[in-house]
Structure 1
Amino acid sequence: MKKHADYGPKSVAALKAALQDNPDSATLLYNLGVSLVAERNLDEAQKAFEEALALEPGIAEAYVQLGGLAMHRGDLDECLKMNRKATEVRPRFAVPWGNIGFVHMQQQNPDKAVKALKKAISLDPQFIQAHTTLGSAYLALGDPDGCIMQCSKAIEIEPMFGPAYNNIGLAYLEKGEPKKALIYFDKAVETGFDVESQVLAEISQYR
């Protein structure tokens, strides 16, 4: 399977010119889609990814991109469907498994999220978003210690990843340890993460 990627920033105009000479290049169409997303031209991007897949149905990244566009529209079911297609095309691609876990969390299905996120991490142990979302799933399932353990792994990989500090803070609040929680919320804020104002108000008394 060929790897499809956006090889550095290419202008939409340059890619469209290249497609004039090579209209059946799925890779050029995929890269055009990526550049159109970067320019926030989402309708044209959708069309480019769909045309790329019509030419070469094995481009897993194009399904992931279509899933992202569906998420942007608020269509979680379509996002789930596109990422599942990506896993069918390339089962060992971690990104769609992580996205599937994220969508399950948005749909209040933490049990299903855990399964998909564990799969993502087994394929890419450095996948910090998957570690952090798995931490959120454990917290939703009433396992704050599991959340702390998983989000600590994310911080080991990326020490300035705010969402992981925020999750650990929430887990310590759940455990009834607000002073410990405060340390992690402060760290989350330090990374630029927006901790919910009601949480900051709740823990301010423990300073």
Structure 2
Amino acid sequence: MEHFDNLDDYIADLKSKLQDNPQCGNSHYNLGVAYLSRRDFVEAEQEFLEAVANSPKMAEAYVQLGGIAMQSGDLESCLNYNIQATQQRPFFAVPWGNIGFIKLQQGDTDKAEQALKKALKYDPEFLQAKATMSSLRITTGDYEEADKLLKDILDKAPNFGPAWNNKAIIDAHNEQWADAKVCIEKAKEFGFDVQEELEKEILENN
């Protein structure tokens, strides 16, 4: 990839490439990613839609479209885009992880588990999917299994906020309040928004 000093130059370069070759799915995709990094969601969405119109097998673009839908709170569209991604690339772990996350949000633990197992089969080190699986285990009351998953994640990625949050939930469940407090502090330090009720409960018990 050529080196650009700033995003605007990179975007301008991609736009000129697209003038010469408007059917290039890759350029549309790259332009979409550039817009995303500027948080221009409307333009990004337009480019990802162009990418899949021109390159229907581009699973990554469907995943990005799903991410934009999630950003605007549209879980159903997010789910559909990720399903389309798995239809184009069945062994691509990311959309399976996303499907698992959405199904868990929707309360469908069976479907969530099926999708997450696929994500972790195709990419055993996929941290986001492991973290979602730990949330699923917490939801179904299997705290021990959740704890094992979290230890594994935090060994490899000690700055992964969602895992610290889940660890706090387990520690609170086990009434290990001092440990839980350390975990919520870590979760917040690494950018995770801890639920107010959880934080309140833990602080009241410390």
- Report if the CA contact (8 A) 1:101-1:112 is conserved: yes
Q: State which drifts further: 58-67 or 157-166.
A: 157-166
* Mapped partners of 2:154, 2:41: distance in 1: 33
After TM superposition, give the deviation of residue 141 of structure 1 in Å: 0.8
After TM superposition, give the deviation of residue 93 of structure 1 in Å: 0.6
Q: 1:106 is matched by which residue type in structure 2?
A: Q
After superposition, the C-alpha distances for 1:28-79 in whole angstroms (9 at most, x for unaligned) are: 1111111122222222222211222122111000110111111122211111
After superposition, the C-alpha distances for 1:62-111 in whole angstroms (9 at most, x for unaligned) are: 11011111112221111111101111111111110111111112212222
* Mapped partners of 2:34, 2:126: distance in 1: 24
Cα gap change, 1:181/1:40 in structure 2, threshold over 3 Å: closer, same or farther?
closer
After TM superposition, give the deviation of residue 197 of structure 1 in Å: 3.4
Q: State which drifts further: 183-192 or 138-147.
A: 183-192
* Mapped partners of 1:134, 1:89: distance in 2: 24
Q: Which runs of 5+ in 2 are unaligned?
A: none
Aligned: 1:167 with 2:143: no
* Mapped partners of 1:78, 1:194: distance in 2: 24
2:123 aligns to what? 124
Q: How does 1:78-117 map to 2 (within 5 A)?
A: 78-117=77-116
* Mapped partners of 2:54, 2:200: distance in 1: 54
Cα gap change, 1:75/1:197 in structure 2, threshold over 3 Å: closer, same or farther?
closer
Q: What TM-score do the two structures reach when normalised by structure 1?
A: 0.87
1:13 aligns to what? 12
2:115 partner SS: helix
Q: How does 1:32-111 map to 2 (within 5 A)?
A: 32-111=31-110
After TM superposition, give the deviation of residue 155 of structure 1 in Å: 0.9
2:21 aligns to what? 22
Cα gap change, 1:48/1:190 in structure 2, threshold over 3 Å: closer, same or farther?
closer
* Mapped partners of 2:190, 2:80: distance in 1: 33
After TM superposition, give the deviation of residue 190 of structure 1 in Å: 4.2
* Mapped partners of 2:60, 2:68: distance in 1: 12
* Mapped partners of 1:192, 1:30: distance in 2: 28
Aligned: 1:144 with 2:143: yes
* Mapped partners of 1:73, 1:192: distance in 2: 20
After TM superposition, give the deviation of residue 194 of structure 1 in Å: 3.6
Q: Which runs of 5+ in 1 are unaligned?
A: none
Cα gap change, 1:33/1:178 in structure 2, threshold over 3 Å: closer, same or farther?
same
Cα gap change, 1:55/1:186 in structure 2, threshold over 3 Å: closer, same or farther?
closer
* Mapped partners of 2:53, 2:190: distance in 1: 42
- Report if the CA contact (8 A) 1:129-1:154 is conserved: no
After TM superposition, give the deviation of residue 192 of structure 1 in Å: 4.3
1:58 partner SS: coil
* Mapped partners of 1:60, 1:168: distance in 2: 33
